[in-house]
Amino acid sequence: MVLAGKIALVTGGSRGIGRAIALKLADLGADLAINFFRSRQKAQATQQEIFSLGRDCAIFRANINDVDSIKKLFHDVRSKFGRLDILIANAAMAMFGNLEDFSLKGWEVTMDANAKSYFLCAQEAVKMMPKGGKIVALTSYGSQKYIPGYAALGSAKAAIETLTKYLAVEFAPKHINVNCVSGGAVDTDSFRILSEYNKHIAEEYIRKTPAKRLGKPEDIANVVAFLCTPEAEWIKGQTIIADGGFSLM
C-alpha cells in the first residue's frame, strides 16, 4: 500500500488505459478522482470497482477541451478531497487523416485536447499539490516516428513530451516529479478507431514486436503507477517507453 493516503486524479479514467491506471493506483492504496466526459455509466462502473478495493472514489464530468471545464474540475476535486497528490494526464481526443486534407478545426481540437489540456491541468494541479506530488502524462510512439494518419496527435504528443521536461525542471523545487509514459499499440477503443483508418497497423505492430502481441492497458498502468511511488523520486522529466520492444526493431 505504498500510495496509502494519497489522492490521485486520472483524466479520462473511466475506460481503457485510464481505467487500468485508476484501478492500479487504488490497488496501491490511493483514493481516486475519476474524470470522464461522455459515459457516466462507465465512470460509475469504474468507481464501483475502486470501492470494492476499499478505496474512496469520486467521479467528475469535465471536457478537457474547455478551459473553464478544466478549472471547475480541479475546483471540485479540491472541494471533495482538499488536495491532490497525483495527476495522471490521460484523457485525449484526436482526429486522424493525411495532412494535405486535414482541417484546421481538426488540428486545433487535437492540439487543444492533448497539449493544451496537459498544460492547463499541470498548472491547476501544482496549486494544490504538497511536496512529493507526481504528474504523469500519457504519450505515444507517434511522437517520434511516422504513423499514417497520426500527424496531429503525434505532434500533440511530441509537445507533451517536451512540456514534461520543462515542467519537471520548474516543479522540482516544489518536490513534484513530472514524467511521461509512452505506450506502443495498446488494445483500446482509441486504437481500434485508428485501426479503422490504418487497417494493417495492428498486424504490423504484432509482427515487429518481440513480445508478439498488442499491449494491454495494464501494461501501461504498471509503469505509470511505479512513477507515482516514492521509489521513482529520482526520475524527472523522462519519457519511459513501454512498448514490448517495438521501438527496438
Inter-residue contact 34 to 77 (CB < 8 Å):
no
Q: What residues are labeled active site?
A: 150, 157
Closest CA to 245 of 222, 218, 214, 223: 214
| Spatial distance between the Cα atoms of 184 and 180, rounded to a whole number of angstroms | 13
What are phi and psi for residue 152, nearest 5 degrees? -65, -50
Closest CA to 3 of 79, 73, 56, 77: 56
Say how many C-beta atoms besides its own lie within 10 A of residue 239's C-beta: 18
Quick check: is 217 in a domain?
A: yes
Q: What total number of domains does the chain contain?
A: 1
What CATH number does residue 193 fall under?
3.40.50.720
Quick check: is 1 in a domain?
A: no
| Residue 23 structural domain | 7-248
- Which position has the grid cell 486520472? 10
Inter-residue contact 111 to 159 (CB < 8 Å):
yes
Quick check: is 167 in a domain?
A: yes
Q: What is the pLDDT of residue 45?
A: 97
Quick check: is 141 in a domain?
A: yes
Cα dihedral 176/182/187/193 (nearest 10) = 100
Per-residue pLDDT of the chain (249 residues; tens, 9 = 90+): 999 999 999 999 999 999 999 999 999 999 999 999 988 999 999 999 999 999 999 999 999 999 999 999 999 999 999 999 999 999 999 898 999 999 999 999 999 999 999 999 999 999 999 999 999 999 998 899 898 888 999 999 999 999 999 999 999 999 999 999 998 888 777 776 666 655 677 788 888 889 898 889 999 999 999 999 999 999 999 999 999 998 887
Quick check: is 2 in a domain?
A: no
Q: What is the pLDDT of residue 204?
A: 81
Q: Which three cell numbers stand for residue 100?
A: 494535405
Radius of gyration of the chain (CA): 17
Closest CA to 74 of 41, 116, 123, 38: 123
Q: What is the pLDDT of residue 132?
A: 95
